[in-house]
Amino acid sequence: MTQWRWLGITAEATRVWVVTDLSVRSAKPTTVRTDAVVIGVVSAPPTGRSKGGGKAMAPAGPAAAVAKAFGRGFIPMLASLGFEGKAGQTATLPSGHVLRSPVVVVVGLGEEGAVDDEALRRAAAAGMKAISNAVSVAIALPAADAAGVRAVGEGVLLGLYTFDRYRSEQRTDPPGEVVVLTENARHRDVKQAVSDAAVVSRAVNLARDWVNTPPRDLTPELFAQAVSEHRTKAGGAAGKVKVTVLDEAALAKQGCGGILGVGQGSDNPPRLVRLEYSPRKPAAHLALVGKGITFDSGGLSLKTGTGMMTMKCDMGGAAAVLAATYAIAELGVPVKVTTFASMAENMPGGGATRPGDVLTMRSGATVEVLNTDAEGRLVLADALDMATEAEPDLIVDVATLTGACVVALGTRVSGVLSNDEGLLERVPAIADRAGEAMWALPIPDEMKGKVTSSSIADLRQHNPEPYGGTLYAAAFLREFVKEQRWVHLDIAGPAFNDKDAYGYTPKGGTGAAVRTLVRLAQEAADGALAR
């Protein structure tokens, strides 16, 4: 029953990569014949104790049948293994002849009342990580509805992600097939949930791959090329996306002084990639803008050595908007999407822009550059200007923009800034429904005066005061969206995980904002963007 699908990767023609196939079936975990079965167990509240003195816990949903097949000793056996049903915990058991599958992986879901979609996503990932060497896996967690099934599917594919392209030997061997088990497998919305989960998770993993790729192999030119190639590689509905790449000459013709100004200190010239997905009867038009700094050395305002270590991640915003656009097209969401990704390498070469230089932006505004490490707002400004010309219902830009946002919100929460009060409330809620953490931040009135306080140009790129850097950057960007409705997502914290993997989030590129953008388009199709 296993279907192997192979995808060749360019580095070495001999290397092959498994793409895990995700499907849904109504089979029972006790009768399904896979190499391993994953089930969930909930823990008791902190005070709850079973008669035997061990912590009380209970099989969750479809796991009940497995517990029953093992007999009364099942829960005590788990307890003897030190398993308590805590979120993230796993126990791997041989199933003897009790089940048709030889191995059962038990994952903790935490307390029963707290099992939401995010808990399912994390548990699914924990289950996958506990398995090695299985060709086929079935997963039976207590997903009550289509949203729960979608969360399980996402947890599976996001949790299985690895980036082994640069290792001599692959460290992991993911299963070729994962089957989500649910009684409702035949429901249309459940089937849809599984295919949505696959499309969205693959988009997140694509963004992760781009972020993880070393900057010498992902220069602006190579990034643009990879984005164009994805259109044909992905096949299917991704082919409906129109790709346009502007090279240096085209950028000069367009007057993109911000993008060119940032790129001019590098031997690798800048690019702008424009994607357009234009379905037949769009319910709304969304413009997406992404920061694609393929490496941020800081330019002449050079970063420290440690400050640069993770700066290949500075194209995470571009990766997110590009991958999300393909996913929206693949899902056939009836929303028009026009996407602009500014790609440049911020380097301190002899031709680099200097603090004190004035750039003339695409909009015609002049900008006094005071810190070449505040480059993101310069490349975004030109792309935002292009986006306004497309006259969408909403512009969303995504950028690893400020270290200040990481100071304010930590590494797992993105900042949301906007020129529209309603969106400031709606976007974090949409993110939450997608399983991402985002929090609204203000653009205080005083920022307007600060961004327009250059002594020689229209705008001042950088605020020398050390506070409120995220808010100032947003106020600067706002100058380029004019009257358009606009949301800015600062993903500087969540885009890259330089600590250990957790839940379904790997080390390295995380694909932050992809799920929120796809969800935003889906909700826009249902009228969520109406004023």
Instruction: State the residues that interact with Mn ion by CB under 5 A.
Output: 296, 373, 375
Nearer to Zn ion, 160 or 405 (CB): 405
Do 324 and 522 meet the contact criterion of CB atoms below 8 Å apart?
A: no
Nearer to ligand BES, 513 or 529 (CB): 513
Q: Return phi, psi of residue 502, to 5°.
A: -145, 150
Tell the smallest beta-carbon distance from residue 373 to ligand BES (Å).
4
Quote the CA–CA distance of 152 and 506 in Å, as a whole number.
17
Residue ranges in 284-303 that form contacts with ligand BES under rule CB under 6 A = 296
Nearer to Zn ion, 338 or 346 (CB): 346
Residue ranges in 330-389 that form contacts with ligand BES under rule CB under 6 A = 371, 373-376
Residue 489, classed as helix, strand or coil, is: strand
Residue type present at position 94: P
Tell the smallest beta-carbon distance from residue 122 to ligand BES (Å).
24
377 is catalytic: yes
Nearer to Zn ion, 314 or 382 (CB): 314
Count of residues that bind Zn ion according to CB under 5 A: 4
Q: Report which secondary-structure segment, H or E, holds 93.
A: strand 90-94
181 is written with which tokens?
């088990």
Tell the smallest beta-carbon distance from residue 204 to Mn ion (Å).
24
Quote the CA–CA distance of 446 and 182 in Å, as a whole number.
54
Among 303, 433, 485, 507, which one carries the catalytic annotation? Answer: 303
* Other Cβ atoms within 10 Å of 50 Cβ, number: 14
Nearer to ligand BES, 24 or 352 (CB): 352
Do 286 and 524 meet the contact criterion of CB atoms below 8 Å apart?
A: yes
Nearer to ligand BES, 374 or 525 (CB): 374
| Residue 406 interaction partner, one of Mn ion, ligand BES, Zn ion, none, beta carbon < 5-8 Å per kind | ligand BES
Span interacting with ligand BES, options 42-50, 398-406, 424-432, 506-514, rule CB under 6 A: 398-406
Among 55, 208, 336, 377, which one carries the catalytic annotation? Answer: 377
Residue ranges in 57-116 that form contacts with ligand BES under rule CB under 6 A = none
303 is catalytic: yes
265 binds ligand BES (CB under 6 A): no
Do 343 and 439 meet the contact criterion of CB atoms below 8 Å apart?
A: no
Query: Which of 314, 330, 385, 523 touches Zn ion by CB under 5 A?
Result: 314
Tell the smallest beta-carbon distance from residue 248 to ligand BES (Å).
21
Question: Looking at beta carbons, which residue is closest to ligand BES?
Answer: 403
Q: Can you state the angle between helices 514-525 and 421-434, rounded to 10 degrees?
A: 110
Do 153 and 76 meet the contact criterion of CB atoms below 8 Å apart?
A: no
434 is written with which tokens?
């997608």
Q: Report which secondary-structure segment, H or E, holds 438.
A: strand 438-440
* Other Cβ atoms within 10 Å of 300 Cβ, number: 19
Query: Which of 296, 385, 490, 523 touches Zn ion by CB under 5 A?
Result: 296
Strands 285-296 and 394-399: parallel
Per-residue 3-state assignment (H helix, E strand, C coil) for 134-179 = CCEEEEECCCCCHHHHHHHHHHHHHHCCCCCCCCCCCCCCCCCEEE
Would you say how long the chain is, in residues? 531
Q: What's the Cα-to-Cα distance from 371 to each of 278, 357, 461, rounded to whole Å?
A: 39, 10, 8
Tell the smallest beta-carbon distance from residue 375 to ligand BES (Å).
5
Nearer to ligand BES, 294 or 522 (CB): 294
Tell the smallest beta-carbon distance from residue 293 to Mn ion (Å).
7
Residue ranges in 445-504 that form contacts with ligand BES under rule CB under 6 A = 462, 469, 492
400 binds ligand BES (CB under 6 A): yes
Tell the smallest beta-carbon distance from residue 492 to Zn ion (Å).
8
Span interacting with Zn ion, options 138-146, 186-194, 230-238, 289-297, rule CB under 5 A: 289-297
| Residue 469 interaction partner, one of Zn ion, ligand BES, Mn ion, none, beta carbon < 5-8 Å per kind | ligand BES
Quote the CA–CA distance of 143 and 416 in Å, as a whole number.
30
Q: Report which secondary-structure segment, H or E, holds 294.
A: strand 285-296
Burial class (CB in 10 A: 0-12, 13-18, 19+), 323: buried
Catalytic residue numbers, as ranges: 303, 377
Provide the binding-site residues for ligand BES, judged by CB under 6 A.
296, 314, 371, 373-376, 400-404, 406, 462, 469, 492
| Site residues (vs Zn ion, CB under 5 A) | 293, 296, 314, 376
